[in-house]
Amino acid sequence: MKLSLFMASVGLLASLSSASAQGDLDALRWKNRILILFAPSDGDPSFTRQSRLLLADEKGLAERELVVLGVAGGKVETLFGDPRAKHDAGALRRHFGLDARAPFEAILIGKDGGVKWRQDAPFEPRDMNAVIDAMPMRRAGR
């Protein structure tokens, strides 16, 4: 009985954390595209390289209405843009099925809230821009 009650509590907490992450992301829905960079630490070479590549083209990020979040270790940092919600690293990792020790991963979320692109290695911004520029809302000028 105690074990099943414990397991139910753990399940409830996990679903609440995932709901919390979705709620935080929903605050940006229809306003911004979101790129989340996940890494085990902020000293991760892939995280550092990707951040540098992206921030070299702030004009392109702004044109595409992107908010870039870095989830490194247990913290979330806004790398570009103006998010209107607080984000929890653990909740974001659980929401996207990533362990805290998982290697680098980048996830692009469209304005509709759906995952549009995932990469497990640093990429050139032009590759991401091509994905965004092909999106119906982007082609419609939104």
Instruction: Give pLDDT tens digits for 11-52.
Output: 434 443 444 556 668 888 889 999 999 999 999 999 999 999
Which has more pLDDT, 85 or 21? 85
| Token reading at 29 | 């829905």
Q: Which CATH number describes the domain made up of 2-139?
A: 3.40.30.10
Strand 75-80 and strand 66-72: the pairing is antiparallel
3-state secondary structure of 16: helix
Instruction: Give dist(CA 41, CA 75) in Å, integer.
Output: 9
Which has more pLDDT, 9 or 37? 37
Which has more pLDDT, 107 or 5? 107
Instruction: Give dist(CA 122, CA 119) in Å, integer.
Output: 7
Domain layout of the chain by residue ranges? 2-139
Strand 33-39 and strand 66-72: the pairing is parallel
Which has more pLDDT, 89 or 9? 89
Does the structure show a pLDDT above 70 at 137? Answer: no
Which has more pLDDT, 138 or 32? 32
Strand residues in 7-83 grouped as ranges (E): 33-39, 66-72, 75-80
Query: Mean pLDDT lowest for which of 8-12, 101-105, 115-119?
Result: 8-12
What is the CB neighbour count within 10 angstroms for residue 95? 20
Which has more pLDDT, 31 or 137? 31
Instruction: Give dist(CA 50, CA 3) in Å, integer.
Output: 43
